[in-house]
Structure 1
Amino acid sequence: MVSNVAAKRRALFILALALILGASGLISRTWAAGAFAVGKCGAYGQAYDYPAEADARAAALRQCKGACAAVTMKRACAALAIDMTNPCGPHGYAVKPRISSSLNAATKKCYEFGGKECVIRAWACDAKG
């Protein structure tokens, strides 16, 4: 037989565990904004798990050297591919739900824009990307 005190302790433990798990799920859903900034000659910046898209965009742009454009990624992955024969030439980037599709799409874009030896320069995933 289980005593009344032991049953109450077990119930409190289960309640506390449920609250902790619920709170952690809320935190991961809340901190799910990211951005990827792309500039010339392979310049890039990345930011992920920010509370708001504007904060993530600003952080990514601060990391990127020169004139850069930023795209946001919310529960997604972003990738940048550059042409190794001319790093200041053709490049491609993509934002997709999964890392594999973003890597493939960025490489494909680089080749579409005239790249000869396109390679991934950088990638980042946000929250559940």
Structure 2
Amino acid sequence: MASNAVARRCAMFFFALTVGVAAARYVTEAHAAGAFAVGKCGAYGQAYDFRGEAAARAAAAKQCKGDCTTVIMKRACAAMAVDLANPCGAYGYAVKPRISSTLNAATRECYKFGGKECVIRAWACDAKG
């Protein structure tokens, strides 16, 4: 009789643990959309951990001053690099799954478009990046 009670308690514990883990995963995945807006002269905007792509895109665009390009970063990171010698000149941006590759790619893009002293201006990752 005592072993049945222990078995029931163990079963209830593992059931509760499974439900808790599933709920935590659902909450994390529900906020997995982000956006990054970039523009001339170092203008940028960022939004991360939004429920949907449209809301993230609108929030990032609202922060960016001027004519900006907005990209989605879902389960990823985004970064922008500008030319330190001429902030209104060359710039580059990238979206990649990992922050290290994102920073490197944004810097390479800045140099590719004529930057002389490219540095990271801004970066962001969403919930999964």
Category of TM-score, reference length = shorter chain: over 0.9
Is residue 126 of structure 1 aligned with residue 126 of structure 2?
A: yes
> How far does residue 62 in structure 1 lie from its aligned partner after superposition?
1.3
1: distance between equivalents of 2:61 and 2:109?
Answer: 22
CA–CA separation in structure 2 for the residues paired with 1:25 and 1:55: 21
- What is the one-letter code of the residue matched to 2:41? C
Structure 2 unmatched runs, 5+? none
Distance 1:3 1:62, change over 3 A: same
Structure 2 match to 1:98 = 98
Separation in 2, partners of 1:64, 1:8 = 57
Measure the CA separation in 2 of the matches of 1:63 and 1:74.
Answer: 19
Q: What is the TM-score of this pair, normalised by structure 1? A: 0.92
**Segments of 4+ in structure 1 off by > 6 A?**
none
**Per the alignment, in what secondary structure is the counterpart of residue 27 of structure 2?**
helix
1:1-129 aligned at under 5 Å gives the runs: 2-129=2-129
Gaps of 5+ in 1: none
Shift of 1:17: 1.0
- Once the 2 structures are TM-superposed, how far is the Cα of residue 3 of structure 1 from its aligned partner? 4.4
TM-score, normalised relative to structure 2: 0.92
Kindly provide the amino acid, as one letter, of the partner of residue 83 in structure 1: D
- Take 1:62 and 1:16, find their aligned partners in 2: how far apart are those partners? 42
Tell me the amino acid that sits aligned with residue 8 of structure 2. Answer: K
Q: Secondary structure at the match of 1:127?
A: coil
- The Cα RMSD (Å) is 1.5
Instruction: Give aligned-pair identity as a percent.
Output: 68
Q: CA deviation at 1:66?
A: 2.1
Measured after TM superposition, the shift of residue 28 of structure 1 is 1.9
